Amino acid sequence: MPPPAQPSALVVDDDDSIRLSTAMLLSVMGVTPELAGSGHTALQLMHDRHYDLAIVDLSLPDIEGSDLIAKFHALAPDMLIVIMSGDNDRINRVRHLADHCVEKPMSAHALRSAIDKLLLAHQEMPL
């Protein structure tokens, strides 16, 4: 029996440093990251590939984060969603769209813990 496929994640944030640090964390966790600096780039990538997880900043320059997440749900209903934002009120308004929310500035530990829990729960779901 072949080993399980390495999970993949789409990281959507217009801040280069957050994208790169999140990608490094994911790589260490054994998750293959793909990076998008805009919502439109993320949507293009979604048409070409399936992702197990999306980590999405709500404040993107080209599309409202909640609108992007709605499009993700339409394209890949089984994809896990983690929302990131520095605005706690905004997180609370769209919390229902995500599997987990992380407030910025975020610690690597908090993000890693959230991702670990989501991926573990997702792997244990019956087909």
Angle between helices 39-48 and 65-75 (to 10 degrees): 10
* Residue 3 pLDDT class (50, 70, 90 cuts): low
Percent of the chain with pLDDT over 90: 84
**Structural domains in the chain plus CATH codes:** 8-119 (3.40.50.2300)
This prediction's pTM: 0.91
* pLDDT tens-digit map of 7-27: 999 999 999 999 999 999 999
CA 115 to chain centre: 9
Q: How far apart are the first and last CA of the chain?
A: 18
Closest CA relative to residue 95, chosen from 109, 76, 81, 78: 81
Using the predicted structure, report yes or no on whether residue 1 has a pLDDT greater than 70.
no
CB-based contact 81:98 (threshold 8 Å): yes
